[in-house]
Amino acid sequence: MQPADSSTKPFFTQPYVNRLSRKNKLGRLAWVLVSSTLFRWSPRALYGWRRFLLRRFGAQLDSSALIYPDVVVWAPWNLEMHARSVLGEGVNCYNVDRVVLEADASAAGYNTLCTAGHNIDSEGRELVVQPITLKRGSWLFFNTFVYPGVTMGEGSVAAAGAVVIKDVAPYSVVGGNPAKHLKWRGIQKR
């Protein structure tokens, strides 16, 4: 193997720089301490306790929203959950931007809701963020990955293991990597 030519310029000349505000960094630090202790170690049935903790950090949560103890929420101030919405077991809510779960929306378990990535077409690899919305009655089966900027339409379903990279039409079922339309749900709109 020959040594690299020292005259070649590396592809990435500017390293990624974390540009979060000081206030955001302090809030994140405080949340990490609370979430890794008081939140994570709470018994499963104490949904109200976890809602209380998340609300103290700015989350907007309906009193019937369910959040499991092993859910990872990156920034509670960017989380909004409506009536009977669920963040199930092992969900990773990387919400650098807004994540909204409308009424009856469910992230079943071991899903990743990822609102941020890096610009791969830039040498500086700037952070790019876009919100994620799960519309009323939408449902993510186990181990689904949802990309930044995705809206799951009302009553839509992402099958287990789906990688959802674009918006999903209302009452449709998607699956695969990348997720593609599989069928329409056989239910009536409410």
Catalytic residue list = 118
Categorise residue 70: left if φ over 0, alpha if ψ from -120 to 50, beta otherwise: alpha
Q: How far apart are CA 99 and CA 107, in angstroms?
A: 12
Eight-state DSSP code of residue 172: E
The residue assigned the tokens 């499991």 is: 68
Q: How far is CA 55 from CA 52, 61, 76, 150, in A?
A: 5, 7, 8, 25
Q: Please, which residues have CB within 8 angstroms of residue 9's CB and are 6 or more apart in sequence? A: none
Q: Strand pairing partners for 186?
A: none
Helices (H), 35-165: 47-56
